[in-house]
Amino acid sequence: MGIRKALGFALIGALASTAAFAAPPPGHSGNPVFPGWYADPEAAIFDNTYWIYPTTSLEYAKQTGFDAFSSPDLVHWTKHPNVLAIADIPWAKKALWAPSVVKNNGKYYFFFGANDIKSDKEVGGIGVAVADKPDGPYKDLLGKPLVGAFYNGAQPIDQFTFHDDDGTWYLIYGGWKHANIVKLKPDFTGVEPMADGTVYKEITPAKEYVEGPLMFKRNGKYYFMWSEGGWTGPDYCVAYAIGDSPTGPFKRIGKILERDPEVATGAGHHSVFHVAKDDSWYIVYHRHPLGDTNGNHRVVSIDKMEFDKDGKILPVKMTFDGVTAKPLR
């Protein structure tokens, strides 16, 4: 590792709240893409602007709100502080994390996990908030969790909102080694049965699945991605499967993002940007700086994600330089 980057990450370790790092080459985003301890990044494109909504990576009791970041080109980022605060979620008491943000019928909907419940006897799970703008302020939509109980063994966390080509909205979620898919009502006020009558359908793709599900569609195929390993440790990683429908079945193909002893460890809980005009893809993920063993010390990075001629995802090469500018306008 070069002296420039070594010094940059030393500064990250020393300055948790204002994580400074060495300047990337001209025209590159650099990794991490913005300062501070952040994790579980959600990537979205709204009105020709890139948005990242991450978890504020602190001890659970201190994760009481979300910041957002916007960019016109993947290189220059603007921070939007406290777009959703725990004070605006009456049923949430601790531990807000893992955003999923989408636009629907002119409104912006912010799905989140809260309270880290361990049983159906506790109040918590997956909630949803709404705003008129992508930078909020977001307010709780339901006054209660959208999914507030365990189904098929899945802890109600780490939700991802998927919009299929036929207009159907799905929520894919789950921790504790189980993943579920549910069909959302069009206004996101609840869930409804699928065509076969199932409400909470398990689609766990492999025994290695842990958490952090994500889905996208490319060339008629459904790509299901997730994180494996422990989120605080060095072996956290991302794997994927491909299926013919959003409900699978999905067969694990393999890992595409994992630690690099020369760059970072614990790379996982990701999202993706897709620029449709040239079918370019970017993976947005968190990772631990080299030599830092504090599980909450995570930073957000972006690298290119590419496919082979058969549509399989190529292993991602983590970098310090990040990506070059990609304006949407």
Catalytic residues: 40, 211
Please, are residues 64 and 96 in contact by the beta-carbon 8 Å criterion?
Answer: yes
User: What H or E segment, with its residue span, contains residue 218?
Assistant: strand 211-218
- Amino acid making up residue 1: M
Strands 160-163 and 180-184: what pairing? Answer: unpaired
For the sheet with 78-85, list strands across it. 38-46, 49-56, 65-71, 78-85
CB atoms within 10 A of CB 5: 21
Phi, psi at 58, each rounded to 5°: -130, 180
Strands 251-257 and 264-275: what pairing? Answer: unpaired
Which value, to the nearest 10 degrees, does the dihedral of the CA atoms of residues 278, 323, 288, 269 take?
-10
**DSSP label at 312?**
P
Tokens 């499967």 sit on residue: 241
Residue of 291, 311, 289 whose CA lies nearest to 300: 289
